[in-house]
Amino acid sequence: MRTNSQLSNKVVRGLSRILGQEFVNFWLEQAGSTVSTDRCLAEVVRIDRETADAVSLWLRPNDLFKGFEAGQHVNLSVTIDSVVHTRSYSFSSAPSTNGLVRLTIKQTATGVVSRYVVNQLALGTVLELGDVFGDMTLAHTQPNLHSQRPTMLLLAAGSGVTPMISLIEELEAKGWPADVTLMSWARNPEDVLFDAALKAKTNKHFKYVRLLENGANLAEGDLAGRPSAEQFAALAGTLETTDV
Ligand SMILES: Cc1cc2nc3c(=O)[nH]c(=O)nc-3n(C[C@H](O)[C@H](O)[C@H](O)COP(=O)(O)OP(=O)(O)OC[C@H]3O[C@@H](n4cnc5c(N)ncnc54)[C@H](O)[C@@H]3O)c2cc1C
């Protein structure tokens, strides 16, 4: 069965042949549509506030989106004051069948795109997705996936946890084919992204450890200060046999 969007794409392609691709795409864009003959446009369908300075965007891309693998990133183009800005963002969800993808963006002090997204971006905005890149995927990071009980140590700092969330969701969906430890660094407990969701996933195959700055308010199990080889070894066992 054809979806509405496949039908509208067919209509748009027909119109483009008659009126010209540029003309049709221009008016579709003016109307806030994600239908396009040549660009992967995506509508912001949900915004979740994750921390004081970070939000997650749930996007519904049009049919030109070719998908991604857990752990990859995408070029996102945002128009701010009539100027198009392009930045890379990791997918913070595993690939799913509901057609939505999630990006999680943390604002940097004077950053153009991240400050706009975190403070001003509205639901329904249409953004452009470019190429998808990255080989920090399960196929590349876990070559021993077929060995008896592979172990993985994922190290993240700040918004760098986003591709790890995607990988963790993928591993969870596959029934934890490896024993996984995630060490996530942030200055303070309230800055740790996806803290509650990660705690909820903890089980005998998934260990989650927060690493906070010296002086931060520590809870049981938190580590503080600079990460060390001893900590890594204590958490993930023999590093020679662990994918890090
Ligand atoms: C592979 C990859 C994946 C990424 N994934 C994520 C993700 O999942 N989530 C996320 O939040 N971020 C991610 N990023 C970072 C993201 O791409 C942006 O770099 C980030 O959002 C900042 O963009 P911006 O437009 O807000 O800042 P920009 O305006 O580009 O500024 C970047 C930094 O440079 C400083 N700066 C700007 N101009 C000047 C100047 N003239 N002089 C001195 N300093 C200046 C700013 O203060 C800011 O700190 C990723 C980056 C890469 C490469």
133, 159, 177: which is the final residue of a domain? 133
For residue 110, the ligand 1 atom closest to its alpha carbon is 47
101 lies in the same domain as 177: no
Which tokens is 150 given? 């592979």
123 lies in the same domain as 153: no
**Could you tell me how far CA 141 lies from the centroid of its own chain?**
17
133, 148, 175: which is the final residue of a domain? 133
**Could you tell me how far CA 217 lies from the centroid of its own chain?**
28
For residue 116, the ligand 1 atom closest to its alpha carbon is 26
157 lies in the same domain as 239: yes
Q: Decide whether any atom of ligand 1 lies within 6 Å of the 88 Cβ.
A: yes
212-237: pLDDT as tens digits: 988 888 999 999 988 888 888 888 77
Range of the domain at 19: 1-31
133, 152, 181: which is the final residue of a domain? 133
pLDDT at position 2 is 47
- Mean pLDDT within 51-57: 97
Residue 162 CA to ligand 1 center (angstroms) comes to 15
71 lies in the same domain as 159: no
Q: Decide whether any atom of ligand 1 lies within 6 Å of the 90 Cβ.
A: yes
173-193: pLDDT as tens digits: 999 988 999 999 999 999 999
Residue 6 CA to ligand 1 center (angstroms) comes to 35
Whole-angstrom distance, CA of residue 41 vs CA of residue 208: 35
Q: Which protein residue's CA is at the shortest distance from atom 5 of ligand 1? A: 89
68 lies in the same domain as 157: no
Instruction: Say whether pLDDT at 31 is over 80.
Output: no
Q: What is the CATH number of the domain that holds 227?
A: 3.40.50.80
Count how many domains the chain has.
3
Residue 54 CA to ligand 1 center (angstroms) comes to 13
pLDDT at position 172 is 96
pLDDT at position 239 is 73
Put simply, whether the predicted model's pTM sits higher than 0.85 gets the answer yes
Short-list 225, 211, 199, 195, CA closest to 51: 195
Q: Which of 48, 110, 167 to mutate to test the pocket of ligand 1 (most atoms within 8 A of CB)?
A: 110
74 lies in the same domain as 105: yes
Pick the residue with more confidence: 17 or 70? 70
Q: Decide whether any atom of ligand 1 lies within 6 Å of the 56 Cβ.
A: no
pLDDT at position 238 is 73
Q: What is the CATH number of the domain that holds 111?
A: 2.40.30.10
Local structure of residue 58 (DSSP, 8 states): E
81 lies in the same domain as 94: yes
161 lies in the same domain as 125: no
**Is there a contact between 194 and 50 (Cβ–Cβ < 8 Å)?**
yes
**Is there a contact between 96 and 169 (Cβ–Cβ < 8 Å)?**
no
71-96: pLDDT as tens digits: 999 999 999 999 999 999 999 999 98
150 lies in the same domain as 199: yes
93 lies in the same domain as 51: yes
91 lies in the same domain as 59: yes
179 lies in the same domain as 157: yes
Which tokens is 97 given? 């069948």
